[in-house]
Amino acid sequence: MTHRKTAALLSIIPGMGQFYNKQFVKGFAFLFLAICYFIAFLDFLNIGLWGIVTLGTEVPRDHSIFLLVNGVISILVVGIGLGFYYFNIYDAFQNGKKRDNGLKLNSLKEQYHNVVDKGFPYLMVGPGFLLLIFVVIFPIIFMLLLAFTNYNLYNSPPAKLVDWVGFKNFIEIFSLDIWRETFISVFAWTIIWTFTATTLQVSVGIFLAVVLNQKEIKFKGIIRTLLILPWAVPAFVSILIFSGLFNDTFGAINQSILAPLGIDSIPWMTDPFYTKIALIFIQSWLGFPFIMAMTTGVLQSIPGELYEAATVDGASNWDKFRKITLPMVLFTTAPILITQYTFNFNNFNVIYLFNNGGPAVADQNAGGTDILISWIYNLTMTSAQYSKAAAVTVLLSLIIVSLALWQFRKTKSFKDEGMI
Amino acid sequence: MSIKTARRIRLTLSYLVLLSAIAIVVYPILWVIGSSFNPGNTLSSSTIIPENATLAHYKELFAETDYLIWYWNTLKICFITMVLSVIFIGLTAYAFSRYKFVGRKNGLLLFLILQMIPQFVAILAIYILAYQVGLLDTHFALILVYVGGLIPMNTYLAKNYYDTIPKELDESARIDGAGHFRIFWQIILPLSKPILAVIALFSFISPFADFILASILISSDEKMTLAVGLFNMIKNEFGNSFTLFAAGSVLVAIPIGLLFLSLQRYFISGLTAGGTKG
């Protein structure tokens, strides 16, 4: 038998393969770590893994949700353990291979240098990644699992146990009338909202930038600063101000602007149609300054000769805008415009702070202006439909992740040539 | 129609467009400033030009609510989040930019996906986790969650910037005998100040603007942040304390607005850098 196979086989008990390769210090370190791991985590893993499979068996003793939390952490701990275990076998195998080929193994000092050298990137990534695991990745895994349980207001610990129910939540979202209709209408509005609000804010931004940057316009600086104000004021403040302005009975829009014009009060907050109009208006108000500021930068970088040549060829202003300005602006800002769309797709603040996703609508369990993200929030916080909310979250994430993957395939960050 | 009249019409229209845009932009802001000086309490009595202007609401804000505490909490949380984020992100992005290591590609992919899923879809899980480790209703939990949430997107920003710093610099330093950390500290860090400033700015502003996480993790009045405090002021007893809310908003909007206007160019450069490359 070759050294590599023997070493790898012996490594089933961590450290033994290293002993076989006569790397005693490393072997001890591996064995010691493995023993510590078992002493520290065995009980926790035992309960955790049992918990995540059964979600508890006795009512007052077991709290399903806490068991689920511990279960997820157990899985993460097991994952780290397996990673270490794999590395232990891999290391024994590689060193065995060196011996097979008659190469000298690294001395202890060389091993130390090797660890410091190869370990450096992990040391750098480590702290941030650990935090990421607990506050971002763990919660997402938890939600993913929750989507396959029956956790809701009527079925929640400590009074009751939660059970695994497979794909029931997903099936119900699409088979029960109220859920399906709500999902479809919320999803449709999310798409309409994303497209109209973003497109409007982008067009207004580009339009104002073009108008403002004509050479003959005076006081450019002051006008620009005034127009950029909505971006400077924190958005949550502006949205709350708007919810006062648009108030049906007392708001200034109905009272001071529409009334003198002889227009009857418009039910901004109580009729879904008008709430939607108001929301799109508010988002355009909030969003256009950034696009305008960015476009201004692009406009200033377009060489003047282009326009002069166009004038010589007899192009009208409209032609110049359509054939030179717009393509230049769209081309250079395209990636940012895409992020504007994804931002609005998940723009919780404007929907929730303005009118709580409302007004309420008959025959569905979401407000008239809820987008997916605010619907999830309301399902969780108001109606305690935890597992349904989790299922919607999973659907939402699937949409987002597939978009992200599609975008990632086109980027260069993947490549790693020229690196250490 | 001569060229001159055409030009005059175009300019008049342009000024009209700009003026109406300014009117629409400025109206809500002036209205809320006006309301904050209004003697009444309610929304219905709010007008742009108050008849008997009064500072009563500002006094009430300081004397009878926790407004100043909220302000202090918010600034504290934002500042700590900013410092921690810059450290974590600066280090993480450096490893991703310069080293080839197992898990690099998957790590980048993971970050890309995570930056697109808003953190608060998992609020329930964050809440339960904070509850289990006994960190509910603490600023510490809030800061950790903010920092974690900022890592994916901003790591990309910083990585893209590091990528533009020539690798020859590192190599020559290595030949001169500088260690890994020394190269980072003495060569890369000074060169990447602009992007770190942008990240600092983002990580200060985004907790400031956050409503949802703060509203879930914090429950006691004296630990609230401005966003939650002001929201409660306007929603709890709608109309009854609107002018108070207006005064509160003005005091938030003015300093932050000024800070923003003075740093605006960095925002644009940062967002552009994040979007155009990838």
Q: What is the ipTM of this complex?
A: 0.85
Of B96-100, B138-142, B152-156, B165-169, highest mean pLDDT: B138-142
| pLDDT surpasses 70 at B169 | yes
Tens of pLDDT, residue by residue over A83-94, are 888 888 888 888
The maximal CA–CA distance of chain A, rounded, in angstroms, is 96
CB contact under 8 A, A416 and B7: no
Among A217, A237, A397, the residue with its CB nearest the CB of B117 is A397
Which residue, among B14, B88, B124, would best test binding to A if mutated, counting the most A CBs under 10 Å from its CB? B124
pLDDT tens digit sequence for A30-87: 889 889 988 888 888 888 888 888 887 777 778 888 888 888 888 888 888 898 888 8
More confident residue, B216 or B269: B216
Contacts of A396 in chain B (CB under 8 A): 121
Mean pLDDT of A141-152: 89
Using a CB-CB distance cutoff of 8 angstroms, which residues of chain B are in contact with residue A403? 116
* CB count in 10 Å sphere of residue B250: 22
The stretch B137-161 carries a mean pLDDT of 90
* Mutation site, B116, B159, B252, interface A, largest A CB count within 10 A: B116
Q: Which amino acid, residue A398? A: L
Which chain B residue lies closest to A118 (C-alpha atoms)?
B101
Q: What is the pTM of this model?
A: 0.85
Query: Are A250 and B123 an interchain contact pair (Cβ–Cβ within 8 Å)?
Result: no
Per-residue pLDDT at B48 exceeds 80? no
pLDDT at A416 over 80: no
H helical segments located in chain B? 3-36, 56-64, 67-98, 104-116, 123-132, 139-163, 167-175, 180-183, 189-191, 193-209, 212-217, 226-236, 242-276
CB contact under 8 A, A120 and B99: yes
Which chain A residue is nearest to residue B253, measuring alpha carbons?
Answer: A233
Confidence (pLDDT) at A358: 78
Give the other-Cβ count within 10 Å of A226's Cβ. 18
Taking an 8 Å cut-off on Cβ atoms, the answer to whether B151 and A400 are in contact is no
Number of neighbours of residue A230 by Cβ within 10 angstroms: 23
Separation CA A203–CA A314 (nearest Å) = 26
For A383-404, what is each residue's pLDDT tens digit? 888 899 999 999 988 888 887 7
Tokens describing residue A168: 């029931």
Instruction: Verify whether the Cβ–Cβ distance B117 to A229 is below 8 Å.
Output: no
pLDDT grade, residue A420 (50/70/90)?
low
Contact B100 A237 (CB under 8 A): no
Domains and CATH numbers, chain B: 3-57 (no CATH), 65-276 (1.10.3720.10)
Query: Inter-chain contact A416–B105, Cβ cutoff 8 Å?
Result: yes
Which pLDDT band, with edges at 50, 70 and 90, does B276 fall under?
Answer: very low
pLDDT of amino acid B277: 39
Which structural domains are found in chain A, ordered by start? 3-146 (no CATH), 170-384 (1.10.3720.10)
CA B129 to chain centre: 25
Between A189 and A330, the more confident residue is A189
Q: What is the pLDDT of residue B238?
A: 55
Residue A32 CA, distance from chain mean position: 39
From the list A120, A230, A400, the residue facing B180 with the nearest CB is A120
Average pLDDT, chain B: 85
Each residue's pLDDT tens digit, A99-120? 888 777 777 788 788 777 778 8
Give per-residue pLDDT as tens, A174-233. 998 889 989 999 999 999 999 999 999 999 999 999 999 888 888 888 898 899 888 888
